Amino acid sequence: MSSAWRVGVDPGRCIGTSICAGTAPEHFRLVDGVSAPLADVVSPAEVVLDAANSCPVEAIIVRDVTDDRLIAPEE
pLDDT tens-digit map of 25-75: 999 999 999 999 999 999 999 999 999 999 999 999 999 999 999 999 987
Q: Let me know if residue 17 belongs to a domain.
A: yes
Interior angle at CA 36, CA 32 and CA 3, nearest 5: 175
| pLDDT-based confidence at residue 7 (cuts at 50, 70, 90) | very high
Q: Residue 8 region, left (φ>0) first, then alpha (ψ -120 to 50), else beta?
A: beta
In angstroms, the CA 3 to CA 67 distance is 11
- Are residues 23 and 32 in contact, defined by beta-carbon separation less than 8 angstroms? no
Domain range holding 38? Answer: 5-68
Does position 11 have pLDDT exceeding 80, yes or no?
yes
Q: Let me know if residue 23 belongs to a domain.
A: yes
- Are residues 48 and 39 in contact, defined by beta-carbon separation less than 8 angstroms? no
Predicted local confidence at residue 1, as pLDDT: 58
Domains identified in the chain, total number: 1
Overall average pLDDT of the 6-16 stretch = 96
Q: Let me know if residue 73 belongs to a domain.
A: no
Predicted local confidence at residue 74, as pLDDT: 81
